[in-house]
Amino acid sequence: MPPPWSPRSDLVTATLIVVGTSRRSTTGTAHVVLVAGKGGVGSTTVAAALSLAAARNGADVLLVSVDGKPGLGPLLGGQPLGPTEHVLRTFTGGGRIRGRTIPPEQAFGDYLDLKGLGGIVRKAVSATSLDMVAASTPGLEHLLVLGKIKELERTRAADLIVVDAPPAGHAAPFIRSARGLQAVVSNGPVRQQADEVAEMLADPARAEALLVTLPEETPVNEVIELATEVEDDLRLALRPIVVNACWPDRPGLALTVTAAARESGVTLPASARSALVGSSAFGRARLEVQREQLLRLATAYPHAAVVLPRMPTPRLMPHHLELLADALDHAEALR
Amino acid sequence: MSGSLAEVLADAQLLVTCGPGGVGKTTSAAALGLAAARTGRRVCVVTIDPARRLADALGVDAAASNVPHEVVGAVEGKGSFSALMLDAEKTFDDLIIERAGDAAQSLLDNKVYRSIAGSLSGAQEYMAIERLHQLHHSGDFDLVVIDTPPSRHAIDVLEAPDRLVKFLSNPMYRTLTLPTRSLARVTNAASGAFLWTVKRLAGPSIVEDTLQFFRSLSGMEAGLRQRAAEMSTLLRDERTAFVLVSSPRAEAVDEAGFLATALHDGGFHLGGVVANMVHPLPPALPASFDATGVTGPLADHIAYHHDLRTLALAERDELEGLRLLARGAPLCEVPLLDHDVHDVPALIELAAMMTG
């Protein structure tokens, strides 16, 4: 019996679709990469694969999970992530991956310390009162987390800081928080923080966003909207969009099973034929949807995109992540 | 204990779909509501943030939000199927107008209120429940189905009423709502530090607005508390069913497990589990057939079959996990379709799969 899943070259060749050129020449030297996408598209996986690819190539990587996904640590071969950073994995050649979360309460406390307000307020300002402070200053929680990331960037805490941004409806407000607060708050430390974060986000040498989507209609619509907003309104440089979980194209499915067998010169037993007919019909329809959606993305957003292979498992393991990192490396080499 | 989703749809007065993001929750809510409507019940589906084409199919858009209207061509006979898209800010405004009396206008104009109505964490969840309560008591519907908002922690929606009460009970909030005229007279150390922090962080004008907001709110505190308590009871009523929607992706299953535990611990009634977007399992190739060395187009068919079968088999293991967390409630497996669901006929097809 063959292994349930063996790495095959046809899955690892990520396709880099380049239609036109990137709006900015994203050199890939930015220190901070914000990875974002709608819930369920796999942006956390892509953040992990990106970290792995960079660390394997010798980079000192800090992976920050804003949402505190504990499973990220084990996926990268280390302990679950926590609020203090720890090394998840080291590589021969000097690269390593450290990981941590940034809980808003902690970012708030660190921020107060930084401004010399810590000691006095610490006792009074509990997590509940952060809720209240945050309520009266919308976007503050996001800004504090981004501010902490900016501090890490400013102190060169790593060669590359990969941020797994909050999913679903939260990705855009997260990235937008600095701008939003600039509009509401006219002076004081929050304004200063918002200015500094906005400055970092607008500098393509310091920060980029990497948006993740799936080859399906709704995710493609949403990533197009998000890309426009991030690039045009927020002036944040975009890496090529990553289309996650694409099945390898199988052009042979265009033929019926019988015609394909004839062309391949194979005599198919009836039981083999009937086993293939159902899966091929399903595959034909799904691959057609995938092709349509990739084309739609390329038309609506005529810039570079990277296609990552679908791993044939619902539960991603470290060796799958290696394959995804291979695919990202491959796409990088094509650029 | 067991039964089917069809039985749940026949008995429930409220149905709440919840689950992780990206598992087809909104579509499932619409299909479940439609299934009940097609058995003759008057059903309203409340959606939060539907994908554009589903919104078009249901006839809900920003212009016609917050008010239910009937979806044409969905039901024959005596049932009815209506939909609305939640407008959390509008619902919050209506609640203020209803409850705040004379203070309503100044509250609605308050800058802090405006930003809270739009963005306070939990405000959207709370308003979803509030709207559910209104529709339930309107008498216009036999069943109200609500799709929970996409949230970082899907549990937020269940805790929304309790959290509001907790927020209102915060001692700092109490001090802030005392009729003091100036900051200097706020003697409570905690609230003093709070105001000072806000002032240092965000500037004095925000502090004034914050104070005014909390004082205006104090007039309606009792009303809000009472409503929150009613909703808390309603959500735990035996005729309120929660339907957990998940896909077989491990991350989704793990999150669904967390949610199932939270439902159970919170005393909510799990009516069923929908395992959505399950890949079909093709039969194995016969052992006698040797696929090695096949080239040409047939190799593509064999490779696709292999990938699909590998994935589908692994998904069956994850489904066992979902079955366990259903704790005896019906589990409904819905296959990943070879087309997207974004019109009424496709919803009818999906409804039949969920209850057939």
Nearest chain B residue to A311, by CA: B311
Neighbouring residues of A268: CB distance < 8 A, sequence distance ≥ 6: A257, A258, A261, A276, B289, B298
**B-chain residues near A261 (CB < 8 A):** 298
**Do you know the residue count of chain A?**
335
ipTM (interface pTM) = 0.87
d(CA B283, CA B308): 10
Q: In this complex, which of A71, A217, A252 lies closest to B298 when CB atoms are compared? A: A252
**Gap from A298 CA to chain B (nearest CA, Å):** 20
Radius of gyration of chain B (CA): 24
Contact B21 A263 (CB under 8 A): no
**Residue segments in chain A with a per-residue pLDDT below the cut of 50:** 1-13, 19-27, 127
Burial class (CB in 10 A: 0-12, 13-18, 19+), B181: exposed
Q: Is the pTM of this model over 0.90?
A: no
The mean-pLDDT minimum among A88-97, B218-227, B339-348 falls in B218-227
- Cβ B151–A138 below 8 Å, yes or no? no
**Tokens 């990277």, residue?**
A306
- Neighbour-count burial for B198-236, b at 16+ CB within 10 Å, e otherwise: bbbbbbeebbebbbbbbbbbbbbbeebeebbeebbebbe
Quick check: B356 pLDDT over 70?
Answer: yes
State the average pLDDT over residues B93-112: 80
Cβ atoms of B355 and B333 closer than 8 Å: no
pLDDT for the residue A2: 36
> Which residue of chain A is at minimal alpha-carbon distance from B287?
A272
Judge residue B182's burial from the number of C-beta atoms within 10 Å of its C-beta, 0-12 exposed, 13-18 middle, 19 or more buried: exposed
| Per-residue pLDDT, B96 | 82
Which residues on neighbouring strands pair with residue A207, listed in sequence order? A32
Distance (Å) of CA B246 to CA A68, B5, B146, B315: 21, 15, 16, 12
Residues in B closer than 8 angstroms to A108, CB to CB, are none
Range of the domain at B219: 5-355
Cβ-Cβ contacts under 8 Å between A and B: the total is: 239
pLDDT confidence of residue A16: 60
Best of A223, A315, A317 to mutate (most B CBs within 10 Å, chain B): A315
Given 3.30.390.50, 3.40.50.300, 1.10.1270.20, 1.10.10.10, which CATH number is that of A24-106+143-334? 3.40.50.300
**pLDDT at position B316:** 96
- Contact flag B298-A261 (C-beta cutoff 8 Å): yes
Centre a 10 Å sphere on the Cβ of residue B153 and count the other Cβ atoms it contains. 12
* A198 compared with B127, residue with greater pLDDT: A198
- A246 contacts A212 by C-beta, under 8 angstroms: no
- The angle formed by the CA atoms of residues A313, A318 and A321, to the nearest 5 degrees, is 75
Q: Which residues of A touch B121 (CB under 8 A)?
A: 131, 134, 141
* B213 or B291, greater pLDDT: B291
CATH of the domain at B310: 3.40.50.300
Tell me which residue of B163, B135, B138, B158 sits closest to B148, measured CA to CA: B158
Q: Identify the residue among B126, B195, B301, B322 best suited for mutation to test binding to A, counting A beta carbons within 10 A and taking the highest.
A: B301
pLDDT of residue B258: 86
Domain coordinates in residue numbering, chain A: 24-106+143-334
What mean pLDDT is predicted for residues B84-110?
A: 82
pLDDT band at B82 (very low <50, low <70, confident <90, very high): very high
User: Using a CB-CB distance cutoff of 8 angstroms, which residues of chain B are in contact with residue A71?
Assistant: 251, 254
- pLDDT for B104 equals 83
Q: Using one digit for the tens of pLDDT, what is the confidence trace for B165-191?
A: 666 666 665 565 555 444 444 445 556
CA A154 to centroid of chain Cα atoms = 22
- Of the candidates A137, A276, A315, the beta carbon closest to that of B202 is on A137
Look at chain B and report how many structural domains it folds into.
Answer: 1
Using CA of residue B115, residue B120, residue B124, residue B129, what is the dihedral sign?
Answer: negative
* Cβ within 8 Å, pair A269-B286: yes
pLDDT at B287: 92
d(C-alpha A245, C-alpha A227), whole Å: 19
- Residues of chain A positioned with their CB less than 8 A from the CB of B149: 169
Best mutation target among A120, A136, A185 (most B Cβ atoms within 10 Å) is: A136
Order of strands, sheet of B331-335, starting from the edge strand that comes earlier in the sequence: B69-70, B80-85, B42-47, B143-147, B14-18, B240-246, B270-278, B331-335
| Min distance B75 CA to chain A CA atoms (Å) | 26
- Per DSSP, the three-state class of B133 is helix
Q: Name the minimum distance, in Å, from the CA of A13 to any CA of chain B.
A: 16
Cβ of A138 within 8 Å of Cβ of B342? The answer is no
Record: contact B248-A314, CB cut-off 8 A: yes
A221: its two tokens: 């619509």
pLDDT band at B31 (very low <50, low <70, confident <90, very high): very high
CA distance A307 to chain B (A): 18
φ, ψ for residue A241 (rounded to 5)?
-65, 140
Let me know if B288 is exposed, middle or buried by CB neighbors in 10 A (0-12, 13-18, 19+): exposed
A168:B150 CB<8 A: yes
Burial class (CB in 10 A: 0-12, 13-18, 19+), A123: exposed
Q: pLDDT at residue B130 above 60?
A: yes
List the single residue in B with minimal CA-CA distance to A69: B251
Contact residues on chain B for A221, CB-CB shorter than 8 A:
51-52
What pLDDT is recorded for position A49? 96
CB contact under 8 A, A170 and B152: yes
DSSP three-state, residue B75: coil
- Residue (of A34, A28, A99) closest to A60 by Cα position: A99
Q: Residue B117 has what pLDDT?
A: 65
